[in-house]
Protein backbone atom coordinates (compact mmCIF):
# COMPACT_ATOMS: atom_id res chain seq x y z
CA UNK A 1 0.00 0.00 0.00
CA UNK A 2 2.84 2.33 0.83
CA UNK A 3 4.41 1.70 -2.62
CA UNK A 4 1.24 2.69 -4.48
CA UNK A 5 1.00 5.87 -2.45
CA UNK A 6 4.57 6.83 -3.49
CA UNK A 7 3.69 6.30 -7.15
CA UNK A 8 0.53 8.39 -6.84
CA UNK A 9 2.45 11.26 -5.24
CA UNK A 10 5.07 11.11 -7.97
CA UNK A 11 2.38 11.12 -10.69
CA UNK A 12 0.64 14.07 -9.04
CA UNK A 13 3.91 16.01 -9.04
CA UNK A 14 4.71 15.25 -12.69
CA UNK A 15 1.24 15.75 -14.21
CA UNK A 16 1.31 19.60 -14.12
CA UNK A 17 4.64 19.59 -15.98
CA UNK A 18 3.09 17.61 -18.82
CA UNK A 19 0.46 20.35 -19.29
CA UNK A 20 2.96 23.22 -19.69
CA UNK A 21 3.37 22.81 -23.49
CA UNK A 22 -0.40 22.67 -23.92
CA UNK A 23 -1.05 26.00 -22.21
CA UNK A 24 2.10 27.87 -23.16
CA UNK A 25 2.17 30.21 -26.16
CA UNK A 26 5.57 29.78 -27.88
CA UNK A 27 6.84 32.71 -29.92
CA UNK A 28 8.32 31.77 -33.26
CA UNK A 29 11.47 33.67 -34.14
CA UNK A 30 12.81 33.86 -37.68
CA UNK A 31 16.48 33.65 -38.57
CA UNK A 32 16.93 37.41 -38.26
CA UNK A 33 15.78 37.32 -34.63
CA UNK A 34 12.41 39.03 -34.93
CA UNK A 35 9.13 37.38 -34.04
CA UNK A 36 7.25 37.98 -37.28
CA UNK A 37 7.99 35.14 -39.61
CA UNK A 38 8.36 31.43 -39.89
CA UNK A 39 10.96 29.91 -37.65
CA UNK A 40 14.14 28.91 -39.43
CA UNK A 41 16.30 26.55 -37.42
CA UNK A 42 19.70 27.61 -38.76
CA UNK A 43 20.48 31.24 -39.74
CA UNK A 44 23.54 30.03 -41.67
CA UNK A 45 21.25 28.16 -44.05
CA UNK A 46 20.02 31.51 -45.40
CA UNK A 47 23.35 32.09 -47.18
CA UNK A 48 24.63 28.63 -48.13
CA UNK A 49 27.81 28.24 -50.10
CA UNK A 50 29.04 25.21 -51.99
CA UNK A 51 31.49 24.75 -54.79
CA UNK A 52 33.22 21.89 -56.59
CA UNK A 53 36.99 22.17 -57.14
CA UNK A 54 39.23 20.02 -59.30
CA UNK A 55 42.98 19.43 -59.48
CA UNK A 56 44.58 17.22 -62.13
CA UNK A 57 48.04 16.13 -63.14
CA UNK A 58 48.19 14.21 -66.41
CA UNK A 59 44.53 13.11 -66.44
CA UNK A 60 41.99 15.31 -68.19
CA UNK A 61 38.57 16.04 -66.77
CA UNK A 62 38.63 19.27 -64.78
CA UNK A 63 38.31 21.55 -67.78
CA UNK A 64 35.43 19.59 -69.34
CA UNK A 65 33.22 20.64 -66.42
CA UNK A 66 34.65 24.14 -66.20
CA UNK A 67 36.15 23.36 -62.80
CA UNK A 68 39.35 24.86 -61.46
CA UNK A 69 41.39 24.29 -58.34
CA UNK A 70 40.66 27.69 -56.78
CA UNK A 71 38.03 30.37 -56.25
CA UNK A 72 37.74 33.87 -54.84
CA UNK A 73 35.57 34.25 -51.74
CA UNK A 74 32.64 36.59 -52.50
CA UNK A 75 32.71 40.08 -50.96
CA UNK A 76 28.92 40.43 -51.06
CA UNK A 77 26.12 37.90 -50.67
CA UNK A 78 23.48 37.38 -53.36
CA UNK A 79 21.18 39.77 -51.50
CA UNK A 80 23.87 42.51 -51.49
CA UNK A 81 25.06 42.23 -47.87
CA UNK A 82 28.76 42.61 -47.10
CA UNK A 83 30.44 39.27 -46.38
CA UNK A 84 32.48 39.10 -43.18
CA UNK A 85 33.83 35.61 -43.82
CA UNK A 86 33.25 32.33 -45.59
CA UNK A 87 32.72 29.48 -43.13
CA UNK A 88 33.57 26.05 -44.55
CA UNK A 89 31.67 23.38 -42.62
CA UNK A 90 32.22 20.26 -44.72
CA UNK A 91 34.75 19.04 -47.26
CA UNK A 92 34.48 15.83 -49.29
CA UNK A 93 36.29 14.56 -52.33
CA UNK A 94 37.96 11.80 -54.26
CA UNK A 95 41.05 11.08 -56.35
CA UNK A 96 41.33 8.84 -59.36
CA UNK A 97 44.87 7.90 -60.28
CA UNK A 98 46.96 5.43 -62.19
CA UNK A 99 47.43 1.95 -60.74
CA UNK A 100 50.74 2.95 -59.10
CA UNK A 101 49.36 6.14 -57.54
CA UNK A 102 49.08 6.78 -53.82
CA UNK A 103 46.96 9.70 -52.60
CA UNK A 104 48.73 11.04 -49.53
CA UNK A 105 46.59 14.08 -48.73
CA UNK A 106 44.15 16.64 -50.05
CA UNK A 107 44.85 20.28 -49.24
CA UNK A 108 42.79 23.45 -48.88
CA UNK A 109 44.63 26.74 -48.59
CA UNK A 110 42.78 29.66 -46.99
CA UNK A 111 43.42 33.15 -45.67
CA UNK A 112 41.53 34.09 -42.49
CA UNK A 113 42.00 37.38 -40.70
CA UNK A 114 44.93 38.00 -43.03
CA UNK A 115 46.74 34.78 -42.05
CA UNK A 116 47.52 32.10 -44.66
CA UNK A 117 46.98 28.45 -43.67
CA UNK A 118 47.14 25.06 -45.35
CA UNK A 119 44.61 22.48 -44.14
CA UNK A 120 45.29 18.79 -44.81
CA UNK A 121 42.68 16.06 -45.21
CA UNK A 122 43.63 12.40 -45.25
CA UNK A 123 42.13 10.32 -48.07
CA UNK A 124 41.32 6.64 -47.66
CA UNK A 125 42.08 4.27 -50.52
CA UNK A 126 38.87 2.38 -51.32
CA UNK A 127 39.86 0.33 -54.36
CA UNK A 128 42.87 0.22 -56.58
CA UNK A 129 43.43 3.66 -58.12
CA UNK A 130 40.71 5.46 -56.10
CA UNK A 131 40.78 7.34 -52.79
CA UNK A 132 38.00 9.23 -50.99
CA UNK A 133 37.78 11.75 -48.18
CA UNK A 134 34.95 13.36 -46.19
CA UNK A 135 35.38 15.60 -43.16
CA UNK A 136 33.18 17.87 -41.09
CA UNK A 137 35.32 20.90 -40.32
CA UNK A 138 35.27 24.58 -39.41
CA UNK A 139 37.54 26.61 -41.68
CA UNK A 140 37.39 30.34 -42.42
CA UNK A 141 38.30 32.49 -45.41
CA UNK A 142 38.31 36.27 -45.75
CA UNK A 143 36.16 37.95 -48.41
CA UNK A 144 38.13 38.58 -51.58
CA UNK A 145 40.79 36.00 -50.65
CA UNK A 146 41.58 32.93 -52.74
CA UNK A 147 40.82 29.41 -51.56
CA UNK A 148 42.94 26.81 -53.36
CA UNK A 149 42.61 23.03 -53.53
CA UNK A 150 45.33 20.48 -54.33
CA UNK A 151 45.52 16.71 -54.39
CA UNK A 152 48.87 15.24 -53.41
CA UNK A 153 49.40 11.96 -55.27
CA UNK A 154 52.76 10.23 -55.62
CA UNK A 155 53.93 7.76 -58.28
CA UNK A 156 51.28 8.45 -60.92
CA UNK A 157 48.94 10.86 -62.70
CA UNK A 158 45.70 11.86 -60.98
CA UNK A 159 42.49 13.83 -61.00
CA UNK A 160 41.21 14.90 -57.58
CA UNK A 161 37.92 16.66 -56.91
CA UNK A 162 36.50 18.16 -53.75
CA UNK A 163 33.25 19.78 -52.73
CA UNK A 164 33.42 22.62 -50.22
CA UNK A 165 30.18 23.36 -48.32
CA UNK A 166 29.46 26.06 -45.80
CA UNK A 167 27.90 29.49 -45.51
CA UNK A 168 28.64 33.17 -45.82
CA UNK A 169 28.71 35.12 -42.56
CA UNK A 170 27.43 38.64 -43.19
CA UNK A 171 27.43 41.93 -41.30
CATH code, domain with 56:
2.60.120
Instruction: Examine residue 8 and state whether it is found in any structural domain, yes or no.
Output: no
- Identify the band that residue 7 occupies on the pLDDT scale cut at 50, 70 and 90: low
- Containing domain of residue 71, as a range? 44-170
Residue 16 CA to residue 11 CA, distance in Å, equals: 9
Residue 7 lies in a domain: no
For residue 112, the Cα-to-chain-centroid distance in whole angstroms is 16
> Is position 18 within any domain?
no
- Least-confidence region, from 28-32, 55-59, 109-113, 115-119: 28-32
Q: Total structural domains in the chain?
A: 1
**Residue 6 in domain:** no
Sheet holding 146-154, edge to edge: 70-72, 146-154, 102-112, 115-121
117 belongs to a structural domain: yes
23 found inside a domain? no
In a domain, 29, yes or no: no
Residues above pLDDT 90, as percent of the chain: 47
Q: Is residue 132 part of a domain?
A: yes
Amino acid sequence: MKTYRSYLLLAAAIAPLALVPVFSNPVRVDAQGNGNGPAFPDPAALRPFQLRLCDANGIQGCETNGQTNQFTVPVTSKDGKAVLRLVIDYVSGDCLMGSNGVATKLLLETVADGTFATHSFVPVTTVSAEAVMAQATRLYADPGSTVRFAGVVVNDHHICRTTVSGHLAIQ
